[in-house]
Every structure is written in C-alpha cells, then in structure tokens.
Chain A
Amino acid sequence: MKLTLKIWRQKNSNDKGAFVSYPMGNVNPDMSMLECLDVLNETLTERGEEPVAFEHDCREGICGSCGFMINGVAHGPERATTVCQLTMRHFKDGDELVLEPWRAHAFPFLKDLCVDRRAFDRIIAAGGYVSVSTGNAPDANAIPVGKDIADQAMDAAACIGCGACVAACPNAAAALFTGAKVAHLSVLPQGKVEADRRALAMVAQMNEEGFGNCTNIGECTGVCPKSIPLQVIARMNRDFFRASLKRRDEPATTITPVYDWKVKTQ
C-alpha cells in the first residue's frame, strides 16, 4: 500500500521544527507503525539523510517507550493500542499520516518524535515506599484481598507510563497517570499504610512538574493503551481530599525539575 508520512522533524529544542512529507511506495499492511518508520529510516540512511528519531523498546505494547500522535490522536486510531502494536492495515491506501511528538511543558522536547518523560519518574519517586515486613517471604494469601479489589489494583497497575494521557489531554494533565500510580497501591491493604502521604506527595509532584489540571473530560482514557478508567483519578482525588483533611505531619516536599538545556520547550 501507498502512504505519505508527514513527520515532525526537529533536531533539538533550539531548532525550529517543521513537518516533512515522506511518500512511502511499498508499505506492507502487516507491518507495525514502528516497522514502517524503520523502513523509512533505512531509506533515509541510504540517502544519507538523518533518520527519524523515535523511542521504542519491547515492541509488544508493554514497555511504554513508544508513542506519538497520529492524525491528532495519541497512539493512532486503534483503541487500547500502542503505536508499536498498530499495524498499517488499519489505514487506507493513499492515506496521509501526520506524526507529531507529545506536546506538553512537562515533557521537554528532545528530537523529532522523542520527548523527555522523566517527570513521570519523579512522580513515581515521590510516591515513596510501601511498608513490608522484612525476613522470610510472607505466606501466600496471608492478607486476604478480594478478587474485585485485586482486579482494580491490576487495572491501575497496567499503566505503562507512555504519556499518551498527557498528550491527549487538552490541558496536558497527568491525572490519569498519577491516578493509576496512586490507585494501584491505595486500593490494596498493603498500600493503605502510606496511602495519605503517598497521595499528597504524588499530587504535589505532579503539580510541581507543570502539568495541567484534570477537567474530567475523559480524552485520556480513550487513548490509553491499557484503557485505564477514570476511576483511578477519582481514587487519587479522594485520597488527596481525605489526606488533606486528616493529615498531621509535615506537608509533602517536592522535587523541582531543573534542566540544564534551555527549557524553552521546542
């Protein structure tokens, strides 16, 4: 099949980027989106041009490395699919695909389709530890957890941190990501011990990173490759609200991100 890839090319954050159109003559419909980019990069390299930079690792939809906008939708038109799992047969012959990186202040631009998502790492780090007994491994099922609760925790824990929720949100909010990371621990008895401190700290770090705020519109869950539900955001809000009312200890400290390149973002 024939496709035209219109890709955002930008060397670095100081460069002024632009879209460049690449006609692709012979696209195998069974290829994934990333394999299509591999083929393009092959030809670009042979022509002596700079290949398109994009992030990838496992290519089976579970690592969270890949992701970019395709025709204005994060991870492309297929629901619950990362771009590495998106096969080209979902497009029609002759389509033009507009490929653009995630755009958010909290995700400083790196190159072409790559952005720096370490803000997510700092939010996870702000969550801190979970209290567990040291010594021998505990007996299985020593703490009873209902199947429904275990399912809720697993649904939230399915988050791979790809950043599509931020990219799709009109406010560039990280509520679905932070909510998933709060919820997958706080619904379980093991995670309840630090639930208050964790919610306050992670929300504080999320705000510190310069993400927007959640307006409950639901674009994030629509593009999420793991279909994480909006319930995790409610969980975060509830934990935050409860913790704000009853907290006794010192307020949460946050880590201010400092980038030594110019944070002019693009």
Chain B
Amino acid sequence: MSTTAVSLRQSRAAAFWYSTTGKKIVMAITGAMLFLFVIGHMVGNLQIFEGREKLNAYGHLLHSLSEPLWAVRAVLIAAIVLHIIATVQLALRNKAARPVGYSRREAINSSYASRTMYWSGPIVLAFVIFHLLHLTAGIIVPGAAFIDGDVYHNVVSGFEVWWVSVWYIFAICLLGFHLRHGIWSMFQSVGLNHPRYTPLLKQAAIWIAAIIVIGYISIPISVLLGLVKE
C-alpha cells in the first residue's frame, strides 16, 4: 500500500520553471528566437552571391550598429543558455523517469528528426562555437590569413579548405533535422495545435527546414565548385 504526504509548492515563477510544461514553453520561445536568427543570418549570408562589396558593406553595417548588435547578441546568448539549461534538466529528468529500460522498444509513430534532437542539438552547438571562432573572432583560421572587415575573403578562403566546408554542410543538415521537428514542436509546446493547421504546419516545417539547409549549404558548395571565388 502507499501513503501520501501533501507538499507545498514554490512561488509562481519558480513553479513555472520547475514544471516540465513550463520548461518546454521556455524552450519553445527561446527556440523561436533562435529560429528567427537562423532565417535572418541566412538572408544576410546569401548576399555573398552579390559580390564582395555587397557582403562587406553588410558586415560593416552590422558592426556600425554597435549597441543594437550587442543587444541582439545578448538576447541570443540568453536564449541559447536558457534553451540548453532547460534541455539538460529535462533530459536528466527523462533519464530518471525510466531507471530500468526495455529489452527492446520499437518506434512506430515518431520522426527520425524528433528522436535525434539530443544529438543534433549539441553537434550544432559545437559547430556554432567553431563557426564564431572561425568567422567572427578569427581565432581559428584554417585557410588564408583572416582579414578583419573583409568578410568575403574570410568566408571564401575558409570554405576553400575542404574539411571546413564538409563540417559546415554536416552541421547545417543536422540543424535542418533539428528545425524539422522544432518548428512545429514549438507551437505544440505553447499549446497551439489545430486539427486542420497542424498537419499543414508539419509539412511547412519540412519545407522550411529544407530551404534553410539549401540556402546555407549553397555557400560552401559554390566556393568548392569555384562559382564564388576571391
């Protein structure tokens, strides 16, 4: 037989954060912010196809907006940190929720992308750190010398190193998988699910993820094929 004891809960904000549902809402909102960044960053990057001047001018524009740039960066870093903390805490909780595993378990109703979020997320994070050290800070410079302010040169010379391009393409594909589940999942987590629109949203998530992947990897592929060069 079991007995029970009544326990008192914390304050309102604490109760929200300590609840699995609350944490998922935090993950959904921070995920949405990061998704918007991914879109914006891709649109900015694609200016590489308009030539050196256009891309470098865009880079200078961003750097000239010092305060707003750092405000956006601060928000994005906060979003990443919250997204990761919530994920790690929920993952630990999930691990504890099934101390004894099954001898076998079949997945019958879930997408590959949704089951591999725990893998795609950390690998994309590792890539983002590498990517910042490579093209933002200029600390890791696999190709020709990093020239501060010459974005075009840094990108092209970086992607001419084959493993940089491969790593980039691999990480972006994983980002696509992450978004294929994340784009619709964020709506579900904040409680938006509709019998008519959610199937459309799931379809749209696949297309949006595919467009993002194609948009991003078009850059290293173009560099490797020599379509974009110094």
Q: CB within 8 Å of B: which residues of A?
A: 19, 69, 71-73, 98, 100, 103-106, 109, 116, 118, 122, 168, 170-173, 200, 203-204, 206-208, 210-219, 221-223, 229-231, 233-242, 244, 247, 251-260, 265-266
Give every chain B residue within 8 A of A204 (Cβ-Cβ).
9, 15, 19
Which of A116, A221, A239, A254 is the one whose CB lies under 8 Å from B109?
A221
Most buried by B among A171, A213, A223: A213
In the complex the two chains form, is B21's CB within 8 Å of A240's CB? yes
Give every chain A residue within 8 A of B22 (Cβ-Cβ).
240, 244
Interface SS majority for chain B: mixed
Given contacts A213-B20, A251-B10, A251-B15, contact A173 B108 (CB under 8 A): no
Given contacts A204-B19, A213-B93, A238-B192, contact A253 B107 (CB under 8 A): no
In the complex the two chains form, is B108's CB within 8 Å of A238's CB? no
Given contacts A172-B97, A218-B114, A222-B108, contact A203 B21 (CB under 8 A): yes
In the complex the two chains form, is B9's CB within 8 Å of A251's CB? yes
Chain A interface: which of B75-83, B165-173, B183-191?
B183-191
Which of B6, B25, B97, B109 is the one whose CB lies under 8 Å from A256?
B6
- Give the distance in Å from the alpha carbon of A171 to the alpha carbon of B198 in the complex: 23
Kindly provide the distance from the CB of B7 to the nearest chain A CB, expressed in whole angstroms.
5
Give every chain A residue within 8 A of B12 (Cβ-Cβ).
244, 247, 251
In the complex the two chains form, is A216's CB within 8 Å of B114's CB? yes
Most buried by B among A98, A118, A218, A221: A218
Given contacts A170-B115, A251-B12, A256-B5, contact A237 B94 (CB under 8 A): no
Given contacts A104-B97, A104-B98, A252-B15, contact A219 B109 (CB under 8 A): yes
- Give the distance in Å from the alpha carbon of A266 to the alpha carbon of B101 in the complex: 10
* 29 A-B pairs (CB sep. < 8 Å): A72-B106, A100-B102, A103-B98, A104-B98, A168-B105, A172-B94, A172-B97, A172-B98, A203-B19, A206-B20, A212-B98, A213-B24, A213-B90, A214-B21, A214-B24, A215-B94, A215-B114, A218-B109, A218-B110, A230-B188, A231-B198, A234-B187, A235-B191, A247-B12, A251-B8, A253-B7, A254-B9, A256-B4, A265-B100
Which of A171, A238, A244 is the one whose CB lies under 8 Å from B97?
A171
- Give the distance in Å from the alpha carbon of A234 to the alpha carbon of B117 in the complex: 20
Name 7 extra pairs, CB < 8 A, besides A258-B4, A260-B3: A71-B104, A109-B100, A170-B105, A204-B19, A237-B188, A247-B12, A251-B9
Name the CB-closest residue of A to B3. A258
Give every chain A residue within 8 A of B10 (Cβ-Cβ).
251
In the complex the two chains form, is A234's CB within 8 Å of B193's CB? yes
- Give the distance in Å from the alpha carbon of A215 to the alpha carbon of B192 in the complex: 15
In the complex the two chains form, is B193's CB within 8 Å of A118's CB? no
Given contacts A210-B97, A212-B97, A253-B9, contact A219 B110 (CB under 8 A): yes
Give every chain B residue within 8 A of A234 (Cβ-Cβ).
187-188, 191-193
Q: Does B163 contact A (CB under 8 A)?
A: no
- Give the distance in Å from the alpha carbon of A213 to the alpha carbon of B15 in the complex: 15
Give every chain B residue within 8 A of A236 (Cβ-Cβ).
21, 191
Kindly provide the distance from the CB of B205 to the nearest chain A CB, expressed in whole angstroms.
12
Most buried by A among B11, B97, B191: B97
Give every chain A residue within 8 A of B184 (Cβ-Cβ).
216
Kindly provide the distance from the CB of A65 to the nearest chain B CB, expressed in whole angstroms.
18
Q: Does B66 contact A (CB under 8 A)?
A: no
Kindly provide the distance from the CB of A180 to the nearest chain B CB, expressed in whole angstroms.
14
- Give the distance in Å from the alpha carbon of A215 to the alpha carbon of B116 in the complex: 11
- Give the distance in Å from the alpha carbon of A115 to the alpha carbon of B184 in the complex: 34
Q: Does B23 contact A (CB under 8 A)?
A: yes
Give every chain B residue within 8 A of A247 (Cβ-Cβ).
12
Name the CB-closest residue of A to B118. A215
Kindly provide the distance from the CB of A121 to the nearest chain B CB, expressed in whole angstroms.
10
Kindly provide the distance from the CB of A142 to the nearest chain B CB, expressed in whole angstroms.
28
- Give the distance in Å from the alpha carbon of A11 to the alpha carbon of B22 in the complex: 39
Which of A73, A118, A235, A265 is the one whose CB lies under 8 Å from B99?
A265
Give every chain B residue within 8 A of A105 (Cβ-Cβ).
96-99
The 3 A-B pairs with the shortest beta carbon distances in the complex, nearest first, are A238-B191, A222-B109, A234-B193
Kindly provide the distance from the CB of A191 to the nearest chain B CB, expressed in whole angstroms.
16
